[in-house]
Each structure stands twice: as structure tokens, then as C-alpha cells.
Amino acid sequence: MPNLATHDDADGHVIHLVSTLEPAPGEAPAALGLPRRLGPAGRAWCALAGAVVCVAAAGALFLLWTQPTPGLWFDLLFTVMLVGLAAAPWAILAASIRQAKFERDLQASWRDLRLRASAVQARVIERDWTLSEDGSVASFALTVRSADAALLRGRWRPADASQGLLQTQVPGIGAEVRVWRVADAPAGAPLVIEAADPSVVA
């Protein structure tokens, strides 16, 4: 019975959308196509914004507890709101740092594996996508069946948040793809699914 791998880009199972699938596979991709994260400058700005919000929240809390208010319930309610507001930028920054470290580890793992990775032909048996507000495809996932009957799932996400796709660019059911993987790698090891953009005319 085939084993369905439910992993996607969270485990390094990523889709690379290419213009065409070349007949000769060549070498495995040098890196996983993961979204770009905040760099040092972005984190510094996020930390600065967090500090400003904390100072503003502290000032508001001082006024809240030293000035007349409708009652204790009012003070407690707005205290919780202000503390949550002050904590939000730091929570976002911490999550970004953790995710960036996790993805660096995935990239390092793929660099170690790619030299032993081999290309296996597969076909798409299921797909789904999420849309952005303007109707473009923000991300899509494909479930594929390889020639050895293995079922694998990967996800495409844009490198940049502003980079969306048309729905016609998402590979359809039955489309041929190429899976780069190491046969004896652990179940959660990263892999790459190369799929051709169906809107590109050869």
C-alpha cells in the first residue's frame, strides 16, 4: 500500500515552478525555494517598532491607572489590551527568528542530501491553492504519485509576498513532474518537486 507523505514546505517538501522540464534532469537544485524572511535590517526595524510600542503602551497604562475611569473592569480590560499590543511586535519578531533558523537548518540538510539525490518522474494526482485578495494564487500544493508508487506532497510559496501566480500557471491533474529525493533519507527529509508552468508555450 503506498505511503502518503503529508509533509509540505514546512518540512522542506517544496515545489519549484520552472518554465519547462528539460528531458535530461541534470543536477539537483542547489537550494530549496523557500520564501525570503526578515534580514538583520528588518529585524532591527521590528525591534525598534516594538520598543516604541512598549513605551507608548507604558505611558497609556500610567494614565489609565492614575486618572479617573468608569471602574476597575475598565482598567483591567484596557490593561490586557495594551499589554497584548505591546507584546505583539516581539512575538512576531521571535516567530520570524525561529522560522528563519528552522529554514536555515532545512537548507543545510538539503545541501548535504542533494549530492545523493536522484530524479524520479511523477504525476500530479491532486492539487489545491490559496488565493490572495486580488484573486492571484498566493500558494499551491500538489500531491504526486511517483513511478515507484510513492505519494508525496509539496507546496509552492513565492519568494516575495508580492509575487502571485495566475490560476492557469498552477500545474493540473495528470501533469508530469520531477521529484528530487534521496531514496534512503528519513521521512521528514527535504525534497524538491519540479513542475512546469503550464502557461508557458514551448
Write the pLDDT tens digit of every residue in 143-168.
999 888 788 999 998 887 677 788 89
Predicted confidence (pLDDT) at residue 53 exceeds the cutoff of 70: yes
Q: What is the mean pLDDT of residues 3-10?
A: 45
Rounded to an integer, what is the distance from CA 138 to the centroid of its chain?
A: 11
Which residues pair with residue 180 across a beta bridge? 119, 192
Q: What is the mean pLDDT of residues 10-33?
A: 85
Asked whether the beta carbons of 70 and 98 are under 8 A apart, the reply is no
Tell me the whole-structure pTM to 2 decimals: 0.77
Write the pLDDT tens digit of every residue in 66-119.
998 888 999 999 999 999 999 999 998 998 888 888 888 999 999 999 989 999
**CA–CA separation, 152 and 147 (whole Å):** 11
Instruction: Name residues whose C-beta falls within 8 Å of residue 148's C-beta, 6 or more positions apart in sequence.
Output: 120
Write the pLDDT tens digit of every residue in 165-178.
888 999 999 999 99
Q: What are 188's three cell numbers?
A: 521528514
**CA–CA separation, 10 and 192 (whole Å):** 13
Instruction: Name residues whose C-beta falls within 8 Å of residue 120's C-beta, 6 or more positions apart in sequence.
Output: 146, 147, 148, 178, 179, 180, 181
